[in-house]
Amino acid sequence: MAMFAFQLPDALAAKFDAIASGGRSKRLRALVSEAVGQAPPTRPATVRGQSTKLTLRLKDEDQAALDAAAEADGLLRTEWALAVLRRRLHGRPKFGRREELGLFAVQEELRRIGVNLNQIARALNTAVMPGSVLDAEIAQLEAFRTEIRAHVGGLKAAFRGNLDYWEGDS
């Protein structure tokens, strides 16, 4: 992706900022697209806080490798590079949107299962049952608990694999 950079007097930049809803870059992309008669490119919405800009100069082969790696993970090149930095600096995982949605679904399903198991345990505690029936129900609950622990272990393995991926070869 090409980058345009130029300087403006502070007063002119302030006036532009006042009309650039959504930020300078977004407004500039829209103006360039309008100038060439093309619809502005759509970019995924991102949540941004205070940050500092980092600029890198890469050789062509490094740029191509970065683009390929980012595309393979479904990330923008900046997101991919930031994921590597965050992993190395903070040990935090970075998932693509597809993986995030999958993990959210698993988390929600485990929460629902936990609620159901709590309801079953409450019912068993108040139920009057012969000993063998109660033992069978408790054994079934234990089997559910073991299965849930296995799924939680799978989630932990997914996070560990993600962290290992971004760690790369040290």
Fill in the DSSP letter of residue 50. Answer: S
Q: What is the pLDDT of residues 17-70, one digit of tens each?
A: 888 877 788 888 888 888 998 887 766 555 556 778 888 899 999 999 999 988
Q: Which of 49, 50, 94 is nearest to 70 (CA)?
A: 94
Q: Report yes or no: 73 and 80 within 8 Å, Cβ to Cβ.
A: yes
Q: Give residue 170's pLDDT.
A: 45
Give the global pTM: 0.40
If one compares 36 and 92, the residue with the highest pLDDT of the two is 36
If one compares 79 and 127, the residue with the highest pLDDT of the two is 79
